[in-house]
Amino acid sequence: MKLTDISGDINEWFDGSGPMSDIVVSSRIRLARNLAGHKFLSRCSNAEKSEILEKLKDVLMSLDLGDKVFYVSIDKAPALNKNFLVERHLISRHHAFGEGPRGVVMVQREFFTAMINEEDHLRIQVLKAGCQLSQCWEQINSIDNMIEEKTDYAFSPRFGYLTACPTNIGTGIRVSVMLHLPALKMTGQIEKFFNAAKDMSLAVRGLFGEGTEAASDLYQLSNQVTLGVTESEIVSQFENTIIPEIAEYENAARSQLLCRDTEVLDDKISRAMALLQNAHLVSSQEALFLLSHLRLGINMHRHMGASTPAINRLCSLCDTPVKGGSGLSIATINRLFMLTLPAHLQLNHGGNLDPAHRDALRAQIIRSALNQQG
Amino acid sequence: MQCQICNNRDATIHLTEITDGTRSEMHICEQCAAEQGIAVKSHIPINELLSSLLASAPSDDEFADPHEQKAACPTCGFTLDQFRKEGVLGCPNDYDVFAKSLQPLIEKAHCGKIAHCGKIPSKTSMDTKKQVELLNLRQQLDNAVRNEDYELAAELRDKISETKR
């Protein structure tokens, strides 16, 4: 399988489906594991790293994961391919640009990936659309059990699963949700979210790398405490306390926009439409920023029955087939989000493009998706 | 300290501005800062948190055990100084070798929690002794290869496979 087999479309966990998908775009659970009887990576020679890589690769490739499994060698991959995998959330930036023998085992539908020799010997993750953390945990736990049958993990009765960094010991679990919070941002209340996260000892990150949260209004929220609390407790805290609380803030901000600040809301949506339907050069940051407003408009219509002049104009496109497909949907917006990221653009174009050409190509792809045929 | 804008709430944000060599200070509360459009970075990524914990933890306070201060892990050769620089440990054995020094850091990072509860490997895991033995053998193997002593390396490799069984 080649990366270009998947680069033309979004992955299934980013298609805008799943529970609470108007706010929770996707759910992810990652487990950090190390093999018993080996040093952590910072002290491993390349020969030992290769040994670990081969061993884990063999184990992972032999598992029945319910989908086609394939392996990508990261130390041998060209920079463009590595950037593509990072954009798609299949590997971390640290893994892409680290050192030594390392790779990723993944399934074709991209709900599961395993980074070998990142910061720990093994980091496995399961991703699903919308709010589906319990389902993620169930699946990753069973995959972890399958791996455990074929290998020995470094484990101590006191500190649990041992990791290179003491901040990950215990369960080695990182539970995260990708949240779309444009209304909190527009109404100047995003600090509420940051403070709530801080109070609950959670970490917040932007979606597409440092600083991009401001552009896309997509935030990744994850647990920091991994010791002394069970996996199920962390998952249930997210599902029963954290996510409902933040969704309530965002929904209140959306209602405020609808009732009190309709002009502000309509202005943002109309500007986003006008620019994206007509511009000939669109930067990556600008695309993320404007597409976020379209996503808000469509979701407010679908989930709150919102009807304002701008939302109605936007949603008239949802019922009209556009070039080469059905009407505009959240899946279309997400597709434009992902496929116009720099590495996606270049991989699908068939080679490197300078930023100016990328901006033109990005604008062209978006224009053609948002303008009705004829 | 009171907020200089509202003169009511506690000032929790302290700004220092240097314009043309003149230094001015401002002490304000979070709410007034938000109204003034001053972004407050209230979330700290985990790695930054760790490095700040390490940086702000002089050896006397944080890594109190004098023996561990000077110790090197017999398995991987790792020292606390290296941990301070790199933020990651050298091998699983380091959790035992530097147990006392790591404890305060672990407590801080995990909101006071110090012991695992949660998933346990389903099959009986290799006991700690065996893990350490393997780590030691691998260390010896590395040295043998480095010294081009291939006879010893072959012996050690056999021992490793035996121990793994």
Q: Retrieve residue A371's tokens.
A: 């303008």
pLDDT digits (tens, 9 = 90+) for A140-169: 999 999 999 999 999 988 899 999 999 999
The residue-averaged pLDDT of B132-151 equals 81
pLDDT of residue A347: 95
In terms of pLDDT, which residue wins out, B54 or A147? A147
Question: Which ipTM did the prediction report?
Answer: 0.87
Contacts of A43 in chain B (CB under 8 A): 76-78, 90-91
For B34-95, the DSSP string reads HHTT--------HHHHHHHHHHT--HHHHS--HHHHH---TTT---HHHHHHHSS-SSTTHH
pLDDT of residue B49: 56
The residue-averaged pLDDT of A83-95 equals 94
pLDDT digits (tens, 9 = 90+) for B84-133: 889 999 999 999 999 989 989 999 999 888 888 888 887 655 565 576 67
Q: Residues with Cβ < 8 Å from A36, sequence gap 6 or more?
A: A152, A153, A154, A155, B92, B125, B126, B130, B131, B134
Q: Residues with Cβ < 8 Å from B139, sequence gap 6 or more?
A: A39, B75, B76, B77
pLDDT of residue A213: 55
- Rounded CA-CA distance A288/A271 in Å is 14
- Rounded CA-CA distance A220/A218 in Å is 7
pLDDT digits (tens, 9 = 90+) for A310-319: 999 998 887 7
Contact between B45 and A203 using a beta-carbon 8 Å cutoff: yes
How far is C-alpha A251 from the geometric centre of its chain's CA atoms?
22
pLDDT of residue B118: 85
In terms of pLDDT, which residue wins out, A319 or A120? A120
Highest mean pLDDT among A78-87, A189-198, B156-165: A78-87
The residue-averaged pLDDT of A85-104 equals 94
Contact between B117 and A165 using a beta-carbon 8 Å cutoff: no
pLDDT averaged over chain A? 92
The answer, yes or no, to whether residue B57 has pLDDT greater than 60, is no
For CA atoms A141, A118, A220, A370, give the dihedral sign: negative
Per-residue confidence band for A374, with pLDDT thresholds at 50, 70 and 90: very low
Per-residue confidence band for B18, with pLDDT thresholds at 50, 70 and 90: low
Contact between A145 and B122 using a beta-carbon 8 Å cutoff: yes
Most A-contacting residue of B86, B98, B110 (CB-CB within 10 A), to test interface: B110
Q: Residues with Cβ < 8 Å from B19, sequence gap 6 or more?
A: none
pLDDT digits (tens, 9 = 90+) for A211-227: 555 678 999 999 999 99
The residue-averaged pLDDT of A85-107 equals 95
pLDDT of residue B20: 65
Contact between A169 and B76 using a beta-carbon 8 Å cutoff: no
Q: Say how many residues make up chain A.
A: 374
pLDDT of residue B60: 47
The answer, yes or no, to whether residue B42 has pLDDT greater than 60, is no
- Rounded CA-CA distance A118/A112 in Å is 16
pLDDT digits (tens, 9 = 90+) for A121-145: 999 999 999 999 999 999 999 999 9
The residue-averaged pLDDT of B134-163 equals 85
The residue-averaged pLDDT of A284-308 equals 93
The answer, yes or no, to whether residue B134 has pLDDT greater than 60, is yes
pLDDT of residue A249: 94
Task: For chain B, say whether A155 makes contact (Cβ under 8 Å).
Answer: yes
Contacts of B42 in chain A (CB under 8 A): 191, 194-195, 198
Contact between B91 and A43 using a beta-carbon 8 Å cutoff: yes
* List of long-range contacts for A322-326, beta carbons under 8 Å, 24+ apart: A322/A369, A322/A370, A322/A371, A322/A372, A322/A373, A323/A368, A323/A369, A323/A371, A323/A372, A323/A373, A324/A368
The answer, yes or no, to whether residue A355 has pLDDT greater than 90, is yes
pTM here is 0.82
The answer, yes or no, to whether residue B70 has pLDDT greater than 50, is yes
pLDDT of residue B59: 47
pLDDT digits (tens, 9 = 90+) for A63-76: 999 999 999 999 99
The answer, yes or no, to whether residue A208 has pLDDT greater than 70, is no
Contact between B42 and A191 using a beta-carbon 8 Å cutoff: yes
Cβ proximity of A32 and A172 under 8 Å: yes
Please tell me which of the candidates A36, A161, A197 has its beta carbon nearest to residue B131.
A36
**Percentage, residues of chain A above pLDDT 90:** 80
